[in-house]
Amino acid sequence: MDKAKRYQALLSCLPWVEAILVTGSVAKGQATSASDIDLVALVRPNRIYLTKAWYLFVFSLLNIKENSVSKSGKFSLGTVISTKFSAWQIKLSPLLDYTSENINVMIPVYGEEKWYQTLGLEPLFSQQAIGVDQGGVISDNNSSWFWSNTGSKVLGWIDQFVFSLHKYKTFAQARNITIKSFTVVERDLLSLHAVSAVLDKIERE
């Protein structure tokens, strides 16, 4: 956890990053010498893939990003979500149990106030986090990719373009290689965790 607190500045230096959290075995206090450090980033809308690109570049350059050869004590930015939750609720109902379970163990190392404020404003997740079953189908309150109040339009367009490339690449990997490589890719969620229910849903479509 101390290492996460030291290195969070590599992500929180980005002006659109609102919070950095630690999840997984480190947050649960179950880390071993072989464990990596799972990070979650909360960012403004249309900044997910710029954040991911920055993480890949900087953390690889400093040799602190986990890879297939070495993961012990290194970082994995497994999930990036935006503050505009409503844009990705509609297709993520199979993820509710998974998401609420992980929200319960996420520990902020940057932007604690913003994280809990954002979570509290979103009934779906604030109630899921305390065990209230929502049930039913989640409606999409805002399906737009771009929101005019998110800053530079140029950055928004770049992020949207990278999203389209990332979506094409990762969906192809998921179908052609293995379920384990599946990446959930939505407008406002990037999760590198395999979730069979979501994979089955996409395959049916």
Could you tell me the domains of the chain? 2-204 (3.30.460)
**Mean of pLDDT values over 137-165:** 50
The whole-angstrom separation of Cα 113 and Cα 99 is 20
Provide the whole-model pTM: 0.64
Calculate the alpha carbon distances from 74 to 19, 69, 135 in Å: 19, 11, 38
Max avg pLDDT among 102-106, 164-168, 186-190: 102-106
pLDDT recorded at residue 202:
47
Structure tokens at 88: 């990705």
**Mean of pLDDT values over 26-45:** 80
Indicate if the pLDDT at residue 138 is higher than 60. no
**Mean of pLDDT values over 169-173:** 47
Indicate if the pLDDT at residue 62 is higher than 80. yes
**What is the arrangement of strands in the sheet containing 17-23, beginning at the earlier edge strand?**
107-110, 17-23, 37-43, 75-82, 189-191, 184-186
Q: How confident is the model at residue 159 (pLDDT cuts 50, 70, 90)?
A: low
pLDDT recorded at residue 168:
55
